[in-house]
Amino acid sequence: MTNVAIVGAGTMGHGIGYVTVIGGYMVTLTDVDEDVLERARAHVGLALDSGVMRGKVTEEMRREAMSRITLSTSLEDAIHDAQIVIEAAPENLALKRDLFRRIGTAAPHDALLATNTSSLSVTDIAAATDCCERVVGMHFFNPVAAMKLVEVIRGAKTTDQSVARARTFAESLGKKAIVVRDSPGFATSRLGIVLGLEAMRMLEQGVATAMDIDTAMELGYNHPVGPLRLTDIVGLDVRLAVADHLHESLGGEIYAAPAILREMVAAGRLGKKSGHGFYDWSTPQ
């Protein structure tokens, strides 16, 4: 049975952990914060409970899945026997490069090493290791359990074998994998951020309310979630970081973050995770 180590147990980390353990893999979640790890395990348990209530998961499947989860505050211990390592740390290049320096040293020599970045250069992250050929991007989407896509990003030195392994793994989780070249924003973030930022500018200019802008895209273009509600789910701080990165990398005013986004992030209105963003998340949606 394949051992999968997930580095970072925040929202994306425990989401990836859930779909991976449901897929039948042994999963080790590692984070520097014990409380974050315990919350991550609790989130996985709640997701499994929901599956039981909806008849998608049996009690036996739940027990077996929970038994396959291990927690560790030591990155080196967590990855020493992993066949697949997925880094799910915050979207910060220096942090990810530092983690990959350690991952490249401590992981088995044949392990697939993946970064769950949504916009940063996989090539730059891989350069922190001496095994660039085994490093790929695996961009999962939030909420991981519900979103079917995994964007596999090929770095400058990533081999065909590593890309194939990443695709096979993603598909084993019931996901659809696409492969893109390592370029700023890849395919999804580059397109999605433009729509999200324009929706914010429309709100800023009083064109329509947040709900009506979202409804326009949901009913007019068959988007499952409108761009402002999606920004709340992703996190306004995450969207701002991606926008700034793309504006710096690609130029163009379409990637310039509007004032409303900077003001809301500065005020701590980060979306669903803070309770308020473009919508009020303090009560059940």
Average pLDDT value for the chain: 96
Report whether pLDDT(74) > 70. Answer: yes
Residue 18: the pLDDT is: 97
Does the structure show a pLDDT above 90 at 154? yes
Mean pLDDT, residues 152-172 taken together: 98
Mean pLDDT of 147-161: 97
**What mean pLDDT is predicted for residues 113-119?**
95
* CA atoms in the 13 A half-sphere facing the CB of 185: 22
Q: What is the pLDDT of residues 171-204, one digit of tens each?
A: 999 999 999 999 999 999 999 999 999 999 999 9
Question: Is it the case that residue 111 has pLDDT exceeding 90?
Answer: yes
pTM for this entry:
0.89
Residue 151: pLDDT above 90?
Answer: yes
Does residue 106 have a pLDDT over 70? yes
Q: Which residues make up the CATH 3.40.50.720 domain(s) of the chain?
A: 3-181
CA diameter of the chain: 55
pLDDT of residue 285: 62
Q: Encode pLDDT of 3-18 as tens digits.
A: 999 999 999 999 999 9
pLDDT in tens, 230-281: 999 989 999 999 999 999 999 999 999 999 999 999 999 999 999 999 999 9
For 188, residues 6+ apart whose C-beta sits below 8 A from its C-beta are: 118, 139, 141, 149, 151
Which CATH architecture describes the domain 188-266? Answer: Orthogonal Bundle (1.10)
Question: CATH number of the domain at 3-181, out of 3.40.640.10, 3.40.120.10, 3.40.50.2000, 3.40.50.720?
Answer: 3.40.50.720
The single-letter code of the amino acid at 253 is E
Instruction: Of 69, 83, 81, give the one whose Cα is nearest residue 31.
Output: 69
pLDDT at 283: 83
Q: What's the burial of 143, exposed, middle or buried (CB within 10 Å: 0-12/13-18/19+)?
A: middle
| Pick from 45, 37, 39: nearest CA to 21 | 45
Region at 222 (left for phi over 0; alpha for psi -120 to 50; beta for the rest): left
- Please state, in angstroms and rounded to a whole number, the distance separating the CA atoms of residues 250 and 184: 7
pLDDT of 1 reads 58
Residues of each domain in the chain carrying CATH 1.10.1040.50: 188-266
Once rounded to an integer, what is the mean pLDDT over residues 10-37?
96
Q: Across residues 45-67, what is the average pLDDT?
A: 94
Distances (CA, A) of 245 to 30, 93, 118, 136, 272: 27, 10, 11, 20, 23
pLDDT over 70 percentage in the chain: 99
